[in-house]
Every structure is written in C-alpha cells, then in structure tokens.
Amino acid sequence: MKKNALLEEYRRSKISPETRKQIDLQVGVANRIYEILEERNMTQKEFAQLMGKTENEVSRWLSGTHNMTCATIAKISCALGEDIIQPTHKKIVISFDIIHNENYTFSTKEELNFKQEKMVINY
C-alpha cells in the first residue's frame, strides 16, 4: 500500500516526544539483539530455546514493538554474553599543563616547555 507523505507527516507530528523516544528505544534494543544473533548465526528459534521462551515471544521482542523490562533485557544480555544497552556516563574534561624539560632543571621559566593536554574521565 502506498503511503501519503503528507498524511504520514501529520500522523507522526501527533506523537508525543515521550512516545517517539520510547519507540526509538524499543527499536534500538530489538536491533541490537538482532545484530548479536546475526553475528552468531543464531536463529530466532535457537534464541527462543536459549531463553526458554516461545518463538512468538522472541518475534515480538525483535519487532521493536514490545516494551521489555530491565529484567528481561538483563536476562537477554546474560544469555548472549553481551550488553544489549549501555548506560551513558557523564564525561568530565580536565585540562592541565605538563611541564617538559630535557635537563630537568627548572631554574627559569624560559627553560620550560608547556604542553596543554586533555584527559577524559568517565564516572
């Protein structure tokens, strides 16, 4: 069925930002699981057996429309041995001066070479 571009745009504009974000997250999780399965040449049937679930349930997971709990995502991550999602951490950029001097004598400022360095720390 051909979709009307104007009608689709109108329909999409009626979706709240929260709902749009939820859909993006659900599809992202489903895509990540699918990528891992592809990398391992694992079928949905094999994945369902590994998880102790039906193929229908796994199919719903991979459709991107299923609202998975954190517990389910954790079980999938453990079963596949890879993270499905990774929480982001704040980054702090610290600037500092490193003093370089070949003679290691710091008698005058002119003898010193200053180099600006940046370090990123995740916490």
- Over the stretch 26-43, which tens digit does the pLDDT of each residue have? 888 999 999 999 999 999
**Could you please report the per-residue DSSP string of 14-66?**
TS-HHHHHHHHHHHHHHHHHHHHHHHTT--HHHHHHHHT--HHHHHHHHHT-S
Predicted structure pTM score: 0.61
What are the CA-CA distances from residue 111 to residues 34, 66, 99, 105 (Å)?
59, 65, 10, 8
Pair 58, 48: CB distance under 8 Å:
yes
Instruction: Decide if pLDDT at 113 tops 60.
Output: no
SS3 110: helix
In the numeric block, the tokens 């599809």 are attached to 27
**What pLDDT digit, counting tens, does each position of 54-94 carry?**
999 999 999 888 889 999 999 999 999 999 988 776 666 65
